[in-house]
A and B are shown apart, each in its own frame.
Chain A
Amino acid sequence: MQLNADERETALLKAAGAVALYQRIGRLPVAAPTANAACELNDAPVINERAALRLRMMLKDARYQSLLPEWLNAVAQRGLRLPAAVLPKLLQLGADKNEWRESLLPALGARGRWLAAQYPAGQWVTGDTEDETIWHEGTREQRVAFLKRLRQRDATQARELLLANWTQEPPQERADFIGVFITNLTLADEPFLESALDDKRKEVRTQATDLLARLSESAFAQRMLERARTLLTFQRKLVGKNQLEVNPLAECDKAMQRDGFEKNAKQITAELRASWVERILAVVPPRFWQEHLSATPIELIAVSANWKATLLQGWQQACLRYPTVEWITALLSASDTRAYQADWRLLFEALQPSECEAFGLQAFNEKKLFDREDPLGWMLPRIATKWSEPFSRKLIESLAQRFNQKPMQEEHWWRDEFIELAQSLAPTVYPFAATALDTQIQAGHNGSPALQTLLDVLQFRYEMLKEIAS
Chain B
Amino acid sequence: MASKDFVHKLRALRHPRTIAHNQELQLMNWTTEQVLNLAPDAASAKAGQSLANARKWQTLGASEQAAWGLCQGSGKDPYQTQIELTEPAFKCSCPSRKFPCKHGLALLLLLATQADQFKEKDSPDWVNEWLAHRAQRSEHKAAKVEAAAEKPIDEAAQAKRAEAREKKVAAGLADLQLWLSDLIRSGLAHAQTQPYSFWERPAARLVDAQAAGLARLVRELAVIPATGADWQSRMLARLGALQLALDAYQRIDTLPTVTQSDLRQLIGWTINQDELLAQNATHDLWLVVARRVETEDRLRVQRSWLWGWQTNQPALVLHFAHSTQPLDVSLVPGQCFDGELVFYPSGYQQRALIKQRSESVNAPPPPLPGFVTLTAATEAYAKAIAQQPWLERFPFALRRVTPQPTESGWLVADSENRAVALHPRFAAGWELLALSGGYPVSLFGEWDGDALWPLCIQAENQLLQLTEEEPG
Residues of A near any B CB (own CB < 8 A): 5-6, 9-10, 12-21, 23-33, 35-39, 41, 49-50, 53, 56-57, 60-61, 84-85, 87-88, 111, 114-115, 118-119, 459
A57 touches B240 (CB 8 A): no
Q: How far is the CA of A36 from the CA of B238 in the complex (A)?
A: 37
Distance (Å) between the CB of A29 and the closest chain B CB?
A: 4
Q: Pick the residue among B53, B236, B406 that contacts A20 (CB under 8 A).
A: B236
Number of interface residues of B (CB under 8 A): 55
A17→B375 CA distance, assembly (Å): 24
Residue of A19, A21, A28, A88 near B430 (CB, 8 A) is A88
Interface of B is mostly: helix
Measured between beta carbons, the chain A residues less than 8 angstroms from B45 are: 60
- The residue on A at minimum CB distance from B245 is A17
**Chain B residues near A118 (CB-CB < 8 A):** 405, 433
Within 8 A of A (CB), among B237-282: 237-244, 247
Given A50-B113, A61-B50, A88-B430, is A35 in contact with B236 using a C-beta cutoff of 8 Å?
A: no
- Please state if A17 and B241 are interface contacts (CB–CB under 8 Å): yes
In the complex, the answer to whether A21 meets B389 with C-beta atoms within 8 Å is yes
Interface residue? B158 (CB, 8 A): no
B24 at interface (Cβ–Cβ under 8 A)?
no
Q: Which residues of A contact B185 (CB under 8 A)?
A: 5, 9
> Do A30 and B42 form a contact, CB below 8 Å, given A9-B181, A35-B413, A61-B50?
no
Complex contacts, B389 vs chain A, CB 8 Å: 21
Cβ A16 vs Cβ B419 within 8 A: no
Residues of chain B within 8 A (CB-CB) of A88 are 430-431, 434
Residue of A nearest to B238 (CB): A20
Nearest-CB residue, chain B, relative to A40: B437
Q: CB distance A85 to B431 under 8 Å?
A: yes
Contacting residues, chain B, for A15 (C-beta < 8 A): 240
Nearest-Cβ distance from residue A41 to partner chain B, whole angstroms:
7
Residues of B within 8 A of A24 (CB): 385, 449-450
Known: A6-B181, A84-B434, A119-B430. A16 touches B404 (CB 8 A): no
List residues of chain B with CB within 8 A of the CB of A27: 378, 449-450
Query: Is B434 touching A29 in the complex (CB atoms < 8 A)?
Result: no
Q: Cβ of B49 and Cβ of A33 under 8 Å apart?
A: no
Q: Does B411 contact A (CB under 8 A)?
A: yes
Residues of A within 8 A of B49 (CB): 53, 56-57, 60
Let me know if B437 and A84 touch, CB within 8 A. Answer: yes
Chain B residues close to A by CB (< 8 Å): 31-32, 42, 45-46, 49-50, 53, 55, 113, 177, 180-181, 184-185, 236-244, 247, 374-375, 378, 381-382, 385-386, 389, 402, 404-406, 411, 413-414, 417-420, 430-431, 433-435, 437-439, 449-450, 464
Looking at chain A's contact residues, is the secondary structure mostly helix, strand, loop, or mixed? helix
- Say which residue of B50, B375, B402 sits within 8 Å of A57 (CB atoms): B50
Q: Give CA–CA (A27, B452) in the complex, Å.
A: 12
In the complex, what's the smallest C-beta–C-beta distance from A460 to chain B, in angstroms? Answer: 9
Q: Knowing A21-B389, A84-B437 touch, does A10 contact B243 (C-beta < 8 A)?
A: yes
**CB contact between A29 and one of B405, B418, B449 (< 8 Å): that residue:** B418
Please, which residues of chain A bring their CB within 8 A of the CB of B464?
A: 85
- If A6-B181, A9-B181, A61-B46 touch, whether A32 touches B240 (CB-CB below 8 Å) is no
With A21-B389, A88-B434 known as contacts, the answer to whether A14 contacts B405 (CB < 8 A) is: no
Residue of A nearest to B464 (CB): A85
Bound CA–CA A18/B434 (angstroms) = 40
Provide the residues of chain A in CB contact with B247, threshold 8 Å. Answer: 14
Q: In chain A, what residue has the closest Cβ to B381?
A: A25
Task: Verify A39–B420 contact, CB threshold 8 A.
Answer: no
Contacts A60-B42, A114-B437, A115-B433 known; 13 new A-B pairs at CB < 8 A: A9-B184, A13-B240, A13-B243, A17-B240, A29-B378, A29-B418, A30-B411, A32-B414, A39-B438, A53-B113, A60-B49, A87-B431, A459-B53
Known A14-B244, A84-B434, A118-B405: A29·B420 in contact at CB below 8 Å: yes
Q: What are 6 contact pairs spanning A and B, CB under 8 A?
A: A9-B185, A16-B239, A29-B374, A50-B113, A53-B32, A118-B405
The 8 Å CB contact of A32, one of B180, B237, B418, is: B418
Bound form: Cα–Cα A87–B247 in Å: 51
CA distance A20 to B240 in the complex (A): 7
Closest 10 CB pairs of A and B: A17-B240, A38-B438, A16-B240, A20-B237, A24-B449, A32-B413, A13-B243, A29-B418, A32-B419, A88-B430
B113–A60 touching, CB < 8 Å = no
- Chain B CB count within 10 A is highest, among A9, A13, A25, A35, for A13
Contacts of A114 in B (CB 8 A): 437-438
Q: Is the Cβ of A39 less than 8 Å from the Cβ of B244?
A: no
Question: A17-B240, A17-B241, A31-B417 known; A115 and B434 CB under 8 Å?
Answer: yes
With a CB–CB cut-off of 8 A, which chain A residues contact B402? 35
Contact B375 A33 (CB under 8 A): no
Neighbouring B residues of A115 by C-beta, 8 Å: 430, 433-434
B437 touching A111, Cβ below 8 Å: yes
Within 8 Å by CB of A38, from B236, B411, B430, B437, lies B437
- Within 8 Å CB of B417, what residues of A? 31-32
A41 near B450 with CB under 8 A, answer: no
Given the known interface contacts A21-B385, A35-B438, A38-B437, the answer about A30 and B240 at a Cβ–Cβ threshold of 8 Å is no
B31, B381, B406, B449 pick with most chain A CB within 10 angstroms: B449
Asked whether B243 lies within 8 Å of A21 as measured between CB atoms, the reply is: no
Task: Check A16 against B236 for contact (C-beta < 8 Å).
Answer: yes
Q: Report B357 CB to chain A, min CB distance, Å.
A: 27
Contact of A18 among B239, B244, B414 (CB under 8 A): B244
Contact B434 A32 (CB under 8 A): no
CA distance A160 to B239 in the complex (A): 69
B437 near A41 with CB under 8 A, answer: yes
B240 and A49 within 8 A (CB): no
> Which of B181, B431, B450 has a CB less than 8 Å from the CB of A10?
B181
Taking CB atoms, residues of chain A closer than 8 Å to B42 are 60
CB distance from B227 to the nearest CB of A (A): 15
Assembled-state Cα–Cα distance A420/B116 (Å): 33
Whether B184 lies near A12 (C-beta < 8 A) is: yes
CA gap between A366 and B365 in the complex, in Å:
61
With the chains together, A32 CA to B415 CA distance in Å?
10
Chain B nearest CB, measured from A278 CB (Å): 51
Q: List the B residue with the shortest CB-CB distance to A463.
A: B53
Closest CB in chain B relative to A5 CB, distance in Å:
7
Verify B375–A13 contact, CB threshold 8 A.
Answer: no
Q: Which chain B residue has the least Cβ–Cβ distance from A36?
A: B438
A residues near B32, Cβ cutoff 8 Å: 49-50, 53
How many whole Å from A3's CB to the nearest CB in chain B?
Answer: 12
Closest-by-CB residue of B relative to A119 is B430
Kindly state the separation between the CA atoms of A17 and B247 in the bound complex, as whole angstroms: 11
Q: How many Å lie between the Cα of A160 and that of B32 in the bound state? A: 55
Task: Name which of B46, B185, B433, B435 has the most chain A CB atoms within 10 A of its CB.
Answer: B433
Which of A28, A36, A111 contacts B375 (CB under 8 A)? A28
Q: A30 and B420 in contact (CB under 8 A), knowing A14-B243, A115-B430?
A: yes
With A5-B185, A39-B437 as contacts: A17 and B431 at CB distance below 8 Å: no
In the complex, what residues of A have CB within 8 A of residue B31's CB? 49
CB distance from B304 to the nearest CB of A (A): 22
Which residues in B have their C-beta under 8 angstroms from that of A32? 404, 411, 413-414, 417-419
Quick check: B237 and A16 within 8 Å, CB to CB? yes
Q: Which residues of B contact A38 (CB under 8 A)?
A: 437-439
Q: How far, in angstroms, from A25 to B348 measured CA to CA in the complex?
A: 15
Cβ–Cβ < 8 Å partners of A53 in chain B: 32, 49, 113
Task: Assess whether A111 is in contact with B434, with CB atoms less than 8 Å apart.
Answer: yes
A17 to chain B: closest residue by CB: B240
